[in-house]
Amino acid sequence: MATRGKPISVKIATVKVIKALEVKLAQVEKDYAGQEANEAKFEKLKEKWQKEIFAIALTPKTKATNVRISNKSYNETINIDFDIAKGSSVFPDEPEKDFEVFSRWQFNETKEELESAIRILKMTDEETVSTSTYQAVARYL
């Protein structure tokens, strides 16, 4: 069993670290490029789920409580809001995102940092990467 405070010294091949960073960069670019398709697919799932919930809410056996009705005269609509206890009907599970959403600035920042790390590692003559250098790039892997 290792004692606390004792540093771990590991040498990792520079080529392996560069390859891992390049794979991660390609994955980040692919994820960002496919983000719109993933969002569209998720929105369709969400709309389907909402329609299923709506159909359950409109069935005569559903017991609605805390009914609130608002007449919106400025746009000529009526807003009806009510609560349904989850135990009164079987509701489908709400869809969850199974992908990460990147904003443009997050994507640019991550891509720039990965490319910078790859460029620096390619310039070195060292065959191995020290533990401290590996720790600096490990958060991307």
DSSP one-letter string for 20-87: HHHHHHHHHHHHHHTHHHHHHHHHHHHHHHHHHHHHHHTSTT--EEEEEEEEETTTTEEEEEEEE-GG
Q: Within a domain: residue 97?
A: no
- pLDDT classification of 26: cutoffs 50, 70, 90: very high
pLDDT at 109 over 90: yes
pTM across the whole model: 0.58
Domain that holds residue 24: 12-88+104-138
pLDDT at 23 over 70: yes
Helix or strand holding residue 72 (H, E): strand 64-72
CB 121 within 8 A of CB 18: yes
Q: Within a domain: residue 98?
A: no
pLDDT at 55 over 90: no
Q: Is 98 exposed, middle or buried (0-12, 13-18, 19+ CB in 10 A)?
A: exposed
Q: Is 98 helix (H, G, I), strand (E, B) or coil?
A: coil
Q: Within a domain: residue 59?
A: yes
**Kind of pairing, strands 128-129 and 12-13?**
antiparallel
DSSP one-letter code for 132: H
CB 62 within 8 A of CB 84: yes
Q: Within a domain: residue 67?
A: yes
Q: Can you give the pLDDT at residue 7?
A: 67
Q: Within a domain: residue 65?
A: yes
The total number of structural domains that make up the chain? 1
Q: Within a domain: residue 25?
A: yes
Q: Can you give the pLDDT at residue 3?
A: 58
Q: Can you give the pLDDT at residue 41?
A: 92
Q: Within a domain: residue 18?
A: yes
Q: Within a domain: residue 5?
A: no
- Beta-bridged to residue 70, according to DSSP, are 79
For residues 105-112, give the mean pLDDT: 92
Distance CA 47, CA 40 (A): 11
For residues 65-89, give the mean pLDDT: 84
- pLDDT classification of 59: cutoffs 50, 70, 90: confident
